[in-house]
Structure 1
């Protein structure tokens, strides 16, 4: 058997083969523009590849695996600690084991410290992503959390986020697509305050350790655990800044409605993480009345260019508290916003098709014959997720277009029994 793939995906094919226990795979690479149809005259490329295809089908033999046991430890030396630390970072980046930012040395002592953030066995498998390298164990998570600069009290959130992602089709888009996607990790419940996750001013920006390192740890695990090496196995078009880190919490106190996790059936005091595989973000700067805010959301959704219309994908709007209060004061509930956006995020059929958007479902649109018919960008109202975060007094919200459904997971089951003592230790260290 042989596979024909685009040139950028050759290393990904080998990675997928290794994940299935194969030392190699007969892969014939053709230029990506040929496979996507961008190049119409494909004959020269195919002619050039004929001999390679015949060889792959008739003579190619799987190489004997000569892979030695993977290194489980590294030693980096220097004239002093600073030089050794620099050598470690250079060595890790040379092995494509980082994200480009400086890494914290994952020493045995630091990893054990990180493992104190959960009661799970270090060798327990938390998540497994089809077609990609080895399963993700608690120890792998701890190692990468150390490298990211995280603290033990962040471990339950990181574990829950990875588990949530594994239960959806998000891995297909995060790991196996040329599209640009990044995991948006969002918290609900008391744990956000307990561990210091920002939900106020600048919540999606720098300056907050929990936000920065939780998101960074998840993305480092994608690189070192899943095997999504940027520019290699991790083929993702332009990629996006969110692949460094994207994490925040909902501002439940500033919301006029029930928080997201309560909408999902969790108790108000539950600790829950939710993850959206996002395709970017768009600022919504809108003044009153409330109808302007709803219209701005619908306009943003109607401008999505994800290749299809009538999307069954999660589209996330993070309302600033002022926008949320404005809507609520005029009688809007979350379901009203969802219904309004579903009914108004529509464009003429001819415009959708002129942008290359194709219809997948539902069937009610397949009977449409008029090019002027307004077709919906959302499959249904429930595909718009509404959260509240930020600070009052500003007329800003953020629209985050997503792919696949939102992933949700309870955090509580991953916390250690000595949770309160862990938090106290963290607060004591924070005084320095």
Structure 2
């Protein structure tokens, strides 16, 4: 799949003037044609036609996802890094993409591939340092590429200074920054409710002093309490830190999960913790989360250059997903209904029609995705045991996707038709889902 020429590319980032002009063929001057004399009349200018508004770059952009640790290794240690990404920017620019999305490269114990952040303003030594990040951003801009970075607001690492303090003392003010509750049962030995972790098992872990903390993902990823003003203020400061460094936007991890239902009610059934559900759950897609996205949109709009937010929001319907991309909220939201649609003209058309209708109703465009780091690559999903069939279908799906109105995200290697690696030995697996 070649991205170049697939869709009209938005205007490039501003660059220094080169002084070069298109070559023109000299013309031999001709005498002005003679025109008949006519009665002179006062000049009456026509009402100027309204100038069309410049189309925002993100509305039909192609954005390339880089999973930093596996993309390009600059120092031979077997782990991809920021300098490696920088070295491949000419290749990405040559594909014709408009922006690069970088998965988390922040300081982290790597319990969940960097989505367990211990310091949101530091680069993990595995990937380089802050100077490498600044150099990458500058080099990307020089190639006409924008840079989107991940931000992980639903939870921190258990090694984040806040949670270390919260775990160390029941009197620590940082306890209020997380979702901690007393247990149920005669001695508090049972979890506070029946919520399940997306990675399996209960969504609660008990501390030595008896309190339980919520983790919708791994136990190493305690959920933050977004009702606390200190949490909101901290993340606004984190966003400003990276915006000031020059990033062009954020992909917001678990954008639908920061707000929990009041009272943390039971779900009442097992098998609840799937990312894409058919209903609103007390821990996902609560209406209160939209207030956070509105405040972040106002912050982004205060910066020049059309900085953007793309929401990883696993909403149960296209209509619920469209709420995240209203005019005063996120600019984009991944269309996971499209990602998970089965192969077939009818199924794909139903999702496409529903998606376009829902986003059109709020004046937004749809963000199309076929693969990312959370799902099996589409050439393998579509293969049904036959790699050649998967590649053919993958090409057809790419052709369809790039013909649709809206923006497209391309996962690294997708342009090569790469399949999923399914035969990794158990000892090589690091994903907490395993």
How does the TM-score come out when normalised to structure 1?
0.27
In terms of fraction of residues, the more helix-rich structure is: 1
Q: Which has the higher strand share?
A: 1
- Compute the TM-score of the two structures, normalised by the length of structure 2: 0.27
Higher relative contact order, structure no. (Cα contacts within 8 Å, ≥ 6 residues apart)? 1
Structure exhibiting the larger radius of gyration computed from Cα positions = 2
